[in-house]
Structure 1
Amino acid sequence: MTTAVEHAIDRARDDGRAAFVGYLPAGFPDPDASIAAALALAENGADVIELGPPYSDPVMDGPVIQEATNRVLEAGFTTSDLFDVIREITRRTDVPVLVMTYWNLVLQRGIDTYAREIAAAGGAGLITPDITPEAADEWIAASKRHDLDRVFLAAPTSSDERLRMISEASTGFVYTVSTMGITGERASLDAAARSLVERLRIAGAERACVGIGVTTPAHVTNIAEYADGAIVGTALVKTLGSGGVDALGAKVRELVAGSRR
């Protein structure tokens, strides 16, 4: 059965474009504004919303996202608050909401409890940057029980065997890391991203979305040539922080315009 995230990506493809996945830190700049910002993503063309709960040791996050999530942490935002934010977003839009979370936050809550609460809030599933499929049996089982997508990451350094494992274990899409390193702005994307998507196709991945360093409409246009979707985070977080929700909406429209093939 096709999941909500898969359906969103397929609908974008049928419309002649790559899907646009927009990332924002949950609770930034405050819970109410976070909800408004996520809705602005949906209203201005995002196909999938990606929310990142704040974490004290975000190994993948660049300085812009770290600064935003630190602000949220200092304000006392909790995992329970995350579910409240998701619930309010999904009450007001049909655009699927994925949570990109470091695994320790899930373990602290309990894997099945976290999965159950995500599903009850209307969330579509999890992107898990720091757990691999072979270590995720309990999460895979919980995701099946609660009908949640599980999005694993593939990197340019991944072996062909690992890419097959990731492709088989993932639902929704495979998060295709464009280049090694943390999130943030880059003048150009690593050519390894195109090669990695080709390798993922051979490994059996039906949908691959490219993230890390995707910040301009030109980046999105380039990705649309070979991948199923583009994932943008830092550019959106920076815009929200400096210009608010209206500026964020305009930025999303600008980036989504680059997704047409």
Structure 2
Amino acid sequence: MKIDLTGKIALVTGGTGELGRVMVRTLANCGAKVAIHYLSNRTKAEELLEEIQDDGGTAIIVQGDITKEASILNMKQQIDAELGEVDIVVANAVVQYTWTSILEQSPKDYQSQFDSCVMQSVYLAKAFIPAMQAKRSGRFIGINTECSMQNFPNQSAYVAGKRGMDGVYRVLAKEVGEFQITVNQVAPGWTISEKDRGDDAGSDEAYLQGVPLKRRGVDQEIANAVAFLASDLASFITGAFIPVTGGNVMPAI
């Protein structure tokens, strides 16, 4: 049994990010044609494109602001023209900002998280789900976070955005399920990626005390969960919030 996405077209927003780039590579390695979204890091997008093409895969790069509906619609037009209709959406992009306490956090940071977590998902759904409905097939995957369950100090804007996103995904799963479209979330823990690999990563003992597997996850493990949910192996899973955290957070029943 293997994950085979041959013939599928995937969009990964934030495709040049630390986790996004590994999702892009993994989906391409599974046979999908991939649209690599970026906001400003065109150099990394081009590097990923060349890497996938050198490995015999098919990809394109698309630039856009995922907080603007018009920008997402422009991306859709480009993908439709160059690859075809999207089968798999991975909403991975998020606006970065400096975390601080609620009393000191700027209101614009709450707005940025709402726009990049909630409204990105709404705009992507409006743009790409109608074609999935027509085909009666599709995968809509959002990247959430363990922080949504932890609610630690200084996380308020991020948690608020991601918890709002969670509500959208749960409702969307019920609204489009009859079309055999699955809607799921992957929630990474504190993950080791390219920027800190080999830099004594995973040595934070305070964090590891709460992780049953006693290690930090790696970027490939997040991408593996995404690829699974994108595949036919996960055809009867929808509305799920799946932590990839080594057990650091455990949703209750």
Structure ID, larger Rg = 2
Interval containing the TM-score (normalised by the shorter chain): 0.3 to 0.5
TM-score (norm 2): 0.34
TM-score (norm 1): 0.33
